[in-house]
């Protein structure tokens, strides 16, 4: 039984974002965006592996290059796969991303604070060795 046979009719306002009916052109554009994102992400990954494993690049610049490539990789994922753009319709996505980054930041800072505090309060190794004898 189809929805129309039951008497259940959806209005355009009843659809969630992303559930709208799409035409062939919109689907093709969406797939094209994902393929471009996949190609860019693959290229950045290959370049990162090349830079880290070659001697053609000045050695002190490798960490900086890898950080730049990591940031570029995050940008590719945000734009092509998570569809985070500057448009007004993606405000909720940006807020969710910012909240996620805040939580990750708090976890990292809290873990570093706890480890530093434990390291500072830990008994010196020489004293531990003397206590064992």
Per-residue pLDDT tens digits for 14-47: 666 666 677 788 888 889 999 999 999 999 999 9
128 pLDDT more than 60: yes
Identify the band that residue 97 occupies on the pLDDT scale cut at 50, 70 and 90.
confident
Has residue 111 got a pLDDT over 60?
Answer: yes
Let me know how long the chain is.
Answer: 133
pLDDT tops 60 at residue 10:
no
Domain ranges of the chain: 1-83, 88-133
pLDDT > 90 in the chain, percent: 42
pLDDT at position 129, please?
83
């Amino acid at each position: 039984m189809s929805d129309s046979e039951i008497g259940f009719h959806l209005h355009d306002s009843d659809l969630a974002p992303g559930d709208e009916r799409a035409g062939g052109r919109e689907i093709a554009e969406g797939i094209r965006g994902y393929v471009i994102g996949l190609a860019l992400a693959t290229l950045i990954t290959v370049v990162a592996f090349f830079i880290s494993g070659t001697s053609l690049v000045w050695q002190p610049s490798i960490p900086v290059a890898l950080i730049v490539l990591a940031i570029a990789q995050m940008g590719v994922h945000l734009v092509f796969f998570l569809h985070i753009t500057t448009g007004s319709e993606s405000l909720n996505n940006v807020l969710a991303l910012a909240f996620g980054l805040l939580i990750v930041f708090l976890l990292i800072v809290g873990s570093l604070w706890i480890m530093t505090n434990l390291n500072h309060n830990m008994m010196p190794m020489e004293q531990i060795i003397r206590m064992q004898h």
